[in-house]
Amino acid sequence: MSVSYHTVAEHEAGQRIDNFLFRQFRKVPKSVIYRVLRKGEVRIDRKRVGPEHRLLTGESIRIPPLARETGAENAAGPVETLSASLRTRLEQAILLEDEQLIVLNKPAGLPVHGGSGISTGLIEAFRQLRPNLPFVELAHRLDRDTSGLILLAKSRPALTELHRLLREGGMNKHYLALSAGQWQGEARQISLDLKRVGNQARKVQVADATEDGRTAESIFTPLQRGPDCTLLDVQILTGRMHQIRVQLAHLGHPVLGDERYGDFGLNRVWRRQGLKRLFLHAASLVFMFEPTGQRYRLEAPLPPELERVLQPLKSATRGRQE
């Protein structure tokens, strides 16, 4: 194993670095983790930190080869050889590449990184696809079941700039979601406090007034309405874990195909109609990359399996207009 780097996601922020490492390396003794922290082998944005350091969104954590040092297995296991089918999927997913970054249209079902028994995620696979790249790191994350735009940085300065944009709200991010039921009215801005719950805090729910939640804000705009569903444009103003899915479920309009927060009965009905995955897609990103002065306007087309689901809705909309 070699030194690895991890980008702190929005939902990971606020916790101590020692607790983060305990969860990531469950088989590694705590004494070893405290030793590497004390020796400065774990660094955040190239700086030494103590065990009490609290993580901030977008920080880059340098992680030494803990598994090799202790003989313990990393939770992700050995990286598998890149299969021909995954290689093809990744090559077809590249939307743009320049000197600063790589833009992918991530397929649903592919995690962004290995872990929890998954040996190969998008970033590990892409490093195998492009072994000659001296540097490539995820700038942000998408849930495994979400498709759409994801950014990879090709240099440390580019990664730092993308993290700054994410922290300071400099990215205009829009998703497409097919929700259950008819959305009443037009655009609405929704603000809810969310908290993580469950085993390893992998699920989110709306916090009540007495609980310490984190504010999640989104703007939902209906694009097309069907008799029992609504296609929504969702602009996220914050980046909380599962925020779109939890907010829509709370409003009574769960994302169709959502096996965690959705309506399981409706999911079965829509599965028979061809929807066999979560209908949530990171559709567009707009931002200014200040070091070069370049403005990026990125769009990821809907994958074919979601386009097919929308065809009856589009036909019904055209029929009403005629």
Q: Would you say 313 and 198 are in contact if contact means Cβ atoms under 8 Å apart?
A: no
Burial class (CB in 10 A: 0-12, 13-18, 19+), 216: buried
Q: Which two tokens stand for residue 171?
A: 């990215």
For 115, which DSSP code? B
Query: Cα(68)–Cα(65) distance, rounded to whole angstroms?
Result: 6
Query: Cα(247)–Cα(45) distance, rounded to whole angstroms?
Result: 33
Active-site residue (options: 45, 143, 193, 208):
143
Q: Would you say 6 and 63 are in contact if contact means Cβ atoms under 8 Å apart?
A: yes
Q: Which two tokens stand for residue 92?
A: 């077809």
Q: Would you say 148 and 142 are in contact if contact means Cβ atoms under 8 Å apart?
A: yes
Does the annotation mark 143 as catalytic? Answer: yes
SS3 76: coil
Pick from 227, 163, 214: which is nearest to 9 by CA?
A: 163
Query: Cα(109)–Cα(122) distance, rounded to whole angstroms?
Result: 10
Looking at 169-236, list the stretches that DSSP marks H as alpha helix, in order from N- to C-terminal side: none
Evaluated on CA atoms 19, 121, 169, 146, the torsion sign reads negative
Active site residues: 143
